[in-house]
Amino acid sequence: MDKKAKFNILHIDSFQNYGGAQNDIVILLEFLKLYYDKSFNIYVIHNNNKRLKGELDKIGVNNLSIEMKNFLDIYAVFKIRNFLTKHDIDLINFHSSRDHFLGGIASLLIFKKRISKVLTRHVAYRISFLKGFLIYRFLTDGFIAISDYIKNILIKDVKIDPNKIETIYSPRIYDEDGLQKEMFVYELERQNVRSGLGIKPDEKMISLIGRLSKEKGHEVLIKSAELIIKTRNDIKFVIIGEGVLYKHITDFINKKGLKEYFIISGFKKDIKKFIVASDLIIVPSGLEGMGSIIIESCAFKKAVIASNAGGIPEIIRNNETGLLFGAGDYAQLAGKIISLIDNRGLIEKLGLNCYNEVVKKFDAKEIASKTVLFYLKLLTNLS
């Protein structure tokens, strides 16, 4: 592609809820607009995601809703194709399989121009050979992996050329003064948050924050709690989030006779104040590309105990930036919680170390810069 003064970049995301990936998109585009507005026009197509639209509107990113029902939604393909033509799109950045397939096919229908295609791979699920062969090989020019673990999956499962993959971590905004002010405000609210959940001043609050789905490992925490309460009864386990396993998790807690020790709060909009109110954050995922809640928790200098799974060890190093336990090993998790919960000095040390780690690795300005370099590599045919 010839060099041009300003490239037209389109992000497509077919996910209809607002989670970590959508938050990453918003932060990235905010910084692309802030520092690279003279080089790029930025557009987004979403799947009637009202919250995502609201966040994009706040930062002034042009966005359009196109319904993407399934992989065979021909109507969506032609609507995307019309958008590509109208806005003379040079590069598309996909964020999930459905938008990747529909948008990739749409780009092939632009016969007068070759559009560069990038997939940001947010998840650590294994990739089937058929999907990899049809979509990843034919409809993708480059890959952004949010962790080295995901990069290695692309290389191992789909045999993608490593030179086509760039590990670029999820962007976060870290302003030292701003974080300190937020921390101060949330610390003032700490007791109100805890009492609002029914937690007494002399009780410990251990939180699992995330979608209520199988891979997040809620049962692992519940089984570990069953062991912990044999030696102490001053701990409340708080599960924050919503999802398809809400009833299953509730039933499992009741079956174990742990109802008085668990609080399931459902979805909470301002998750930061619940992080600050917690004594420990637990991430018992069996599969995790990186773990947004780990990044958020470390930003507030909270100690994290997490499973040694997926991309998590790229942030949490055992006894340095947090504690790790074997994925699924609830007895080991129970031991880690008991050993750490009263050790204020170690909790503060781990929290501070992890804070320093994420500020360095996930700075939004640096992430935006790396993303721009990767885009330009594809757009100018650099090798």
The 10s digit of each residue's pLDDT in 5-49 is 799 999 999 999 888 899 999 999 999 999 999 999 999 999 999
Q: What residues form DSSP beta bridges with 145? A: 121, 167
The pTM (predicted TM-score) of the whole model is 0.86
Whether the predicted pLDDT of 269 surpasses 90: no
Whether the predicted pLDDT of 321 surpasses 50: yes
> Please, are residues 46 and 21 in contact by the beta-carbon 8 Å criterion?
no
> Please, are residues 365 and 35 in contact by the beta-carbon 8 Å criterion?
yes
Q: What's the rounded Cα separation, in Å, for the pair 238 and 253?
A: 12
Whether the predicted pLDDT of 268 surpasses 90: no
Q: What's the rounded Cα separation, in Å, for the pair 294 and 310?
A: 13
Band (pLDDT 50/70/90 cuts) for residue 382 is: very low
Q: What residues form DSSP beta bridges with 45? A: 12, 64
| Residue recorded with tokens 């096919």 | 105
Q: What's the rounded Cα separation, in Å, for the pair 100 and 95?
A: 7
Q: What's the rounded Cα separation, in Å, for the pair 208 and 142?
A: 34
Q: How far is CA 155 from the centre of its chain?
A: 21
> Is 369 exposed, middle or buried (CB count within 10 Å of its CB: 0-12, 13-18, 19+)?
middle
How many angstroms separate the Cα of 172 from the Cα of each of 3, 24, 319?
A: 30, 8, 24
Whether the predicted pLDDT of 54 surpasses 90: yes
CA triple 233-237-238, angle to 5 deg: 150
Q: What residues form DSSP beta bridges with 305? A: 282, 323
| Residue recorded with tokens 């609830």 | 330
pLDDT (average), residues 79-95: 97
Among candidates 97, 96, 95, 93, which has minimal Cα distance to 115? 93
Q: What residues form DSSP beta bridges with 324? A: 306
100-154 pLDDT per residue, tens: 999 999 999 999 899 999 999 998 887 877 777 778 888 999 999 999 999 999 9
What number of CA atoms fall less than 13 Å from residue 2's CA on the CB side?
A: 3
Max CA-CA distance within the chain? 71
pLDDT (average), residues 43-66: 97
Q: What's the rounded Cα separation, in Å, for the pair 353 and 297?
A: 12
Q: What residues form DSSP beta bridges with 41? A: 8
Q: What is the CA radius of gyration of the chain?
A: 22
Band (pLDDT 50/70/90 cuts) for residue 180 is: confident
Between β-strands 235-240 and 262-266, what pairing exists: parallel, antiparallel or unpaired? parallel
Q: How many helices (H) and strands (E) does the chain have?
A: 14, 13
> Please, are residues 287 and 125 in contact by the beta-carbon 8 Å criterion?
yes
Q: What's the rounded Cα separation, in Å, for the pair 94 and 91?
A: 10
What pLDDT score does 1 carry?
43
Hey, what domains does the chain have and what are their CATH numbers?
A: 7-171+363-379 (3.40.50.2000), 176-361 (3.40.50.2000)
> Please, are residues 211 and 245 in contact by the beta-carbon 8 Å criterion?
no
Q: What's the rounded Cα separation, in Å, for the pair 9 and 91?
A: 5
Determine the 3-state secondary structure of 9 from DSSP: strand
